[in-house]
Amino acid sequence: MTTLSAHRKTIKKRLKALSGWALAAAVGLAGAFGAQTAFAAPAPAAQAAHAGAKLDNAGCQTCHDGKKGKLEGKGPDGAARELRVIENEKYGKGVHAKMQCVACHTEIVDSKAQHKINPKAKKPDCVSCHQDLWDKAQKENKDKAKPRLGKVVESIGQYKKSFHARINKEDETRVYATCTECHNTHFFDIPAKDTEAHAQWRLESPKLCGTSCHEDQLEEFTDSVHGDKLASEEDPKSATCFDCHTAHSVGNSSAVTVKQTIMESCGDCHEDTFKSYERTRHGKLAATDGGQMLRCMDCHGSHGVFTVAKLKDTRKMVSQDNKMCISCHSSDKKYEKFAPVKIGGKAGEKEARPDLDEQHAWLPNTKLHWQSVRCIDCHTGADTKDSHEILGDKKAERNCVSCHSKDSSLAARLYRHLSSEEKQKYGFANSIILANSYVIGATRHALLDTAIIIIAALTLLGVLGHGAMRYISAKSRRKNEK
């Protein structure tokens, strides 16, 4: 069996061999400046422009600025293709703006259309260049003045250990992803943190991972609460891919350690929720070694984290939320997977799965309740801060009247997601609940109740009055008879 470190060594070796390819491919210039690429003869006007052009950025731009009409070259397969264009303005805004094109494209030795190629030229790569720059800065004691260089080297170190740096199983000639598949080398322009530009960039960031590699995940994410906040509400604080997966230490998401890290990152934003979760048996299981445990994503999913509020239909909300709970609590196999040990029990002691029906035997119309309200509507407190503090059978809500009354707590629980709608429709108390479910005690009509109480009181008074008159008249008759 290959050990993890041996596997890493193999990757390292292959990476070294592939590093040249990686940069050239990802830089996106392989076609334009790449080795063995022979340009077709440019149009006469362009040819004229070449004459006397220097081998500096301005010289390169005489052809590659995209303003000289349609220029065609030949790709590696010999087929004609458009000449690659580097937009000068965009390039000027990137971190590499001060570099000469030929500092990376060392194989280009002249400014003529045919471009003489130096076959012995060392192919450029991000890793060695950045490592050299950092080593040099350290040697010259300029490392403190150039902290970003250190950060890049650190990121490279993280990348080398990441899932992206592993050999692609479907194509063993390459790794899963290289630097330039995420970072555009020419326009490398991730804005500085805490700037308006950075906020804007975050809104677009899911496409970076999703568009060419992780399409399915992007689709799921776009519909999720996080994706929706980024796209519809344009809230840059909403989570994007790298907030959970990190930018460079992207791990195999099925690995336990990666899951644990991702789960903890949920707590970075959802602080109260996470704290309330940690207090629960679920949270305690996640902190215990020995199994799959129950983490945020085990209930909420990973990319498609949905919020019930978006569903606008309580039956769908109930169905979605209860599925999470019931799928584990009604299956011995799943229950054992997530609760392999008994909290507070002896070593190796397993937690027995309590029977849901037996636990809810006290609850009238159990199944109807499960279809109409969420498990968490009884198994959490009404305070949204405690929304993840799942209460066990002893602490959960057992007072029916807390829902089945005029001041129904359902309004603050399941129905708070619909609270913007009209609340006193047709004179009913809690008409918002009535729109979905008739809940005895909660969905009362004040006027009807009052009318019935008054009629009953009058009837009672009527018969009592009648009785009193009968008694008095009988007494008076007896007196008269005497």
Contact set with other proteins (CB under 8 A):
362-365, 368, 399-401, 404-407, 425-426, 428, 431, 434-438, 440-441, 443-444, 448-449, 452, 455-456, 459-460, 463, 466-467, 469-470, 473-474, 477
Please give the backbone phi and psi of residue 257, each rounded to the nearest 5 degrees, phi first. Answer: -65, -40
The nearest distance, CB 418 to other proteins, in angstroms, is 13
Please give the backbone phi and psi of residue 13, each rounded to the nearest 5 degrees, phi first. Answer: -60, -50
The nearest distance, CB 416 to other proteins, in angstroms, is 19
Q: Tell me the C-alpha distance between 142 and 148, whole Å.
A: 11
By C-beta, is 238 or 443 nearer to other proteins?
A: 443
By C-beta, is 172 or 358 nearer to other proteins?
A: 358
Q: Tell me the C-alpha distance between 265 and 305, whole Å.
A: 14
The nearest distance, CB 479 to other proteins, in angstroms, is 12
By C-beta, is 331 or 473 nearer to other proteins?
A: 473
By C-beta, is 345 or 462 nearer to other proteins?
A: 462
The nearest distance, CB 451 to other proteins, in angstroms, is 9
By C-beta, is 270 or 360 nearer to other proteins?
A: 360
How is residue 443 written in tokens?
């969905």
Taking alpha carbons only, the member of 245, 236, 237, 292 closest to residue 264 is: 245
How is residue 15 written in tokens?
């990476």
Q: Tell me the C-alpha distance between 123 and 65, whole Å.
A: 23
By C-beta, is 284 or 445 nearer to other proteins?
A: 445
Q: Tell me the C-alpha distance between 158 and 152, whole Å.
A: 10
Region of 430 (left: φ > 0; alpha: ψ -120 to 50; beta: rest) is: left
Taking alpha carbons only, the member of 314, 322, 307, 319 closest to residue 419 is: 314
By C-beta, is 41 or 469 nearer to other proteins?
A: 469
The nearest distance, CB 323 to other proteins, in angstroms, is 20
Q: Tell me the C-alpha distance between 448 and 398, whole Å.
A: 29
Question: Counting beta carbons within 10 angstroms of the beta carbon of residue 170, is it exposed (0 to 12), middle (13 to 18) or buried (19 or more)?
Answer: exposed
The nearest distance, CB 463 to other proteins, in angstroms, is 4
By C-beta, is 139 or 479 nearer to other proteins?
A: 479
How is residue 426 written in tokens?
């047709």
The nearest distance, CB 460 to other proteins, in angstroms, is 6
- Residue pair 225/305 in contact (Cβ under 8 Å)? The answer is yes
- Residue pair 42/111 in contact (Cβ under 8 Å)? The answer is no
By C-beta, is 404 or 417 nearer to other proteins?
A: 404
Q: Tell me the C-alpha distance between 320 and 314, whole Å.
A: 10
The nearest distance, CB 326 to other proteins, in angstroms, is 20
Q: How far is CA 462 from CA 125, 453, 458, 476, in A?
A: 100, 14, 6, 21
The distance between the two most distant Cα atoms of the chain, rounded to a whole number of Å, is 147
The nearest distance, CB 478 to other proteins, in angstroms, is 9
